[in-house]
Structure 1
Amino acid sequence: MKITLTLAMFFISILTFLSLPTPSLSLSKPCNKNDEKVLFQIKNSLGNPYHLASWQPTLDCCKWYCVKCNKTTGRIIELTIFSGNISGQIPPEVGNLPYLQTLEFHKLTNLTGQIPSTITKLTHLTQLRLSWTNLSGPVPSFISQLTNLNSLDLSFNSLTGSIPPELAKLTKLYAIGLDRNKLTGTIPESFGMFKGSVPDLYLSHNQLTGDIPKSLGYLNFSRIDVSRNQLTGDFSMFFGRNKTIQIADFSRNRFWFDLSKVEFPTSLTYLDMNHNKVYGSLPASLTGLSLQGLNVSYNSLCGKIPQGGDLQKFDHSTYFHNRCLCGSPFWACAN
């Protein structure tokens, strides 16, 4: 009898323990009703697409597709709408999600119009990705008001006009993606004056003109891609003994300078400068690099390819169409 009572008390204790709320459940709050109201407004502005079919009042909005909440507060912190059959413009109501940290509209080819100014209200925003859409109009200077941004991706759109110099005010950026648009004008002088982190620059496939400002040489970039523009002058300011640049693509522009005296840092792993007007010889500092990619074709280079390092592992296409470049692995030099 005593044993039976002891066992009964034991099982009662276990059941009591299991009935207690777990810490994780007690910390999870339902979606904030104000945020839910805004999300319904966004859905309505986008024409109630099937892509957002889970956005129903019978389901807590923290469990909706494309949405993420802070478990402690129930406030919306991420809105990531991508790869859906969605038409229209970015709803201005997105600016009414005050705790949003990530805003993404990606691979929505029927999304048109301009970037709404209401996003300036998103003071907590750290990631802004509006890419692979049909957004048009300028890259707005008011983006510089989003002072907590660490990633800005506006690539693969139809944006026009010049790059706003005010973007250099964003001190926490680690990457700027403005590639694959229709941008014109020059690279802003202010891009050599970033405070704090130095962002990776992706400006390729635009219609940018002029020289790269020398001020960019004051900073230590890690990755830069300005390929397929109409840029001129000299890009050697990105290199030097104390630089740490890793990936550099300057291909298909109109750069014209003497490459002979450029000193490449040991950090460089990828260099593409094909289809320019660069002259001189390949510097010996290239032999000290661990190169994963190299293309110096379609320039006006001369002289013997330096022996050593990784320069001989690339095929003829790396060195094609230069004025008088020779040596292994390219054409043999004349005696």
Structure 2
Amino acid sequence: MKNFITYFCLLFVLSISCIVNAQIASSEKQYLLDFHKSTNGDHWQNKWDVKTDPSTWFGVEVEDGHVTALKLYRNNLTGSIPAGISNLSHLKTLNLAFNILEGNLPKDIFKLEKLSVMRLEMNKLTGKMPQDYSKMTQLEELSIFNNLLQGEIPGGIGEMSNLKSLNLSSNYLEGSLPTSIEKLGKLERLELFGNKLAGSIEVDLGRLVNLKELILSYNKFEGDLPSGLATLSNLEFVQLQGNDFRSLNSLLRMQSSKLAVFDSDDEFLNMKFGATEVNKIRVVDTKYEDVKRN
């Protein structure tokens, strides 16, 4: 009998603990409800039953009483991302890619200090990128390609010290490449295809020692390509075509033995590094692949 009572008490305590752990702060739940309303949740592909616990909602992950992930990839979200997302202060992954979201990025979206992945690609987001990224020291992936963003790439982007992948391709970004990018020492992928970026590249690309993919094609860059690019030994994928570079001669000393794809407007270099017609269309194939990640 004593053992039975002990077992029952233990079971009761565990049940209460599970219920408590499933609950989230009222401010976090309220933001999720605001988000649901602002993005027309009644028309989502995978809908939420807002009368149930948020931990049961599609794409919401909860740990220790806090929302740690919001994964609503290709879920027919429309409307806009509402302000107040910083209430999800424990968020690590935000994946809203392949939806029909419009409007500006909320100003507080780059105050999520624990965020490691932000994927907003293939939407219709507009406006300018924010200036301050000082809170984003944990971010490793920032993907906002194929939206309608305008203005310059902010210099503050170099504050994201753990960033490994930056993809801003297929927007309407203009101006020069900020020199602060050279501070992103962990960067492996830099993809800026199809914007209006212009001028000489003053970034010391040689400092991006972990860079594997560099896609600058179809912008308005000019002048000489920085010589430091030739020293990057981990490069695998390079696309430079569709710009107004005066000279690519610095690449004659390219040191990477891992280079698989190289495209430029210099046919000699294309031949030297083995570019093919198949390689020339790869930028389209890879930038819009429908692969569900994170």
- Give TM-score, length-normalised by structure 1: 0.71
| Alpha-carbon distance in 1 for matches of 2:246, 2:214 | 18
For the pair 1:76 / 2:76, whether they are aligned, the reply is no
| Alpha-carbon distance in 1 for matches of 2:144, 2:164 | 14
Does the aligned pair in 2 maintain the 1:31–1:76 contact within 8 Å? no
Aligned to 1:49: 42
| Alpha-carbon distance in 1 for matches of 2:66, 2:141 | 22
Aligned to 1:30: 22
Does the aligned pair in 1 maintain the 2:186–2:208 contact within 8 Å? no
Q: CA deviation at 1:176?
A: 0.8
- Match for 1:56: what amino acid? V
Q: CA deviation at 1:48?
A: 3.7
Unaligned runs of 5+ in 2: 281-294
RMSD between aligned alpha carbons? 3.3
Does the aligned pair in 1 maintain the 2:31–2:85 contact within 8 Å? yes
SS at match of 1:176: strand
Classify 1:120/1:127 alpha carbon distance in 2 versus 1 (closer, same or farther; 3 Å): same
- Match for 2:36: what amino acid? K
Aligned to 1:63: 56
Q: CA deviation at 1:41?
A: 2.2
Classify 1:77/1:212 alpha carbon distance in 2 versus 1 (closer, same or farther; 3 Å): same
Aligned to 2:112: 122
- Match for 2:66: what amino acid? R
- Match for 1:54: what amino acid? W
Aligned to 1:158: 148
SS at match of 2:84: helix
| Alpha-carbon distance in 2 for matches of 1:18, 1:264 | 70
SS at match of 1:141: coil
Q: CA deviation at 1:65?
A: 0.4
Does the aligned pair in 1 maintain the 2:41–2:48 contact within 8 Å? no
- Give TM-score, length-normalised by structure 2: 0.80
- Match for 1:38: what amino acid? Y
Does the aligned pair in 2 maintain the 1:112–1:134 contact within 8 Å? yes
Does the aligned pair in 2 maintain the 1:192–1:213 contact within 8 Å? no
The one-character-per-residue Cα deviations of 1:136-183 (angstroms, maximum 9, x if unpaired) are 111111344322211111111000111111100111111111111011
Classify 1:317/1:133 alpha carbon distance in 2 versus 1 (closer, same or farther; 3 Å): closer
| Alpha-carbon distance in 2 for matches of 1:120, 1:269 | 34
The one-character-per-residue Cα deviations of 1:172-221 (angstroms, maximum 9, x if unpaired) are 11111111101111111221233x52342111111111122252223322
Does the aligned pair in 2 maintain the 1:117–1:142 contact within 8 Å? no
For the pair 1:190 / 2:186, whether they are aligned, the reply is no
| Alpha-carbon distance in 2 for matches of 1:192, 1:106 | 27
What pairs up with 1:117-266 in 2 under 5 angstroms?
Answer: 117-194=107-184, 196-220=185-209, 221-235=211-225, 236-240=227-231, 243-257=233-247, 259=249, 262-266=252-256
Unaligned runs of 5+ in 1: 1-8, 283-295, 298-304, 320-335
Aligned to 1:96: 87
Classify 1:33/1:191 alpha carbon distance in 2 versus 1 (closer, same or farther; 3 Å): closer
| Alpha-carbon distance in 2 for matches of 1:200, 1:267 | 17
Classify 1:215/1:49 alpha carbon distance in 2 versus 1 (closer, same or farther; 3 Å): same
Classify 1:226/1:157 alpha carbon distance in 2 versus 1 (closer, same or farther; 3 Å): same
| Alpha-carbon distance in 2 for matches of 1:142, 1:318 | 37
Aligned to 2:286: none
Does the aligned pair in 2 maintain the 1:193–1:215 contact within 8 Å? no
Classify 1:68/1:191 alpha carbon distance in 2 versus 1 (closer, same or farther; 3 Å): same
Percent sequence identity is: 25
Aligned to 2:284: none
SS at match of 1:184: strand
| Alpha-carbon distance in 1 for matches of 2:167, 2:130 | 14
What pairs up with 1:101-116 in 2 under 5 angstroms?
Answer: 101-109=92-100, 111-116=101-106
Higher-helix-fraction structure: 2
The one-character-per-residue Cα deviations of 1:74-105 (angstroms, maximum 9, x if unpaired) are 21111122223332111113221121111222
Aligned to 1:302: none
Does the aligned pair in 1 maintain the 2:178–2:203 contact within 8 Å? no
Larger CA deviation: 97-106 vs 118-127: 118-127
Classify 1:53/1:192 alpha carbon distance in 2 versus 1 (closer, same or farther; 3 Å): closer
- Match for 2:94: what amino acid? L
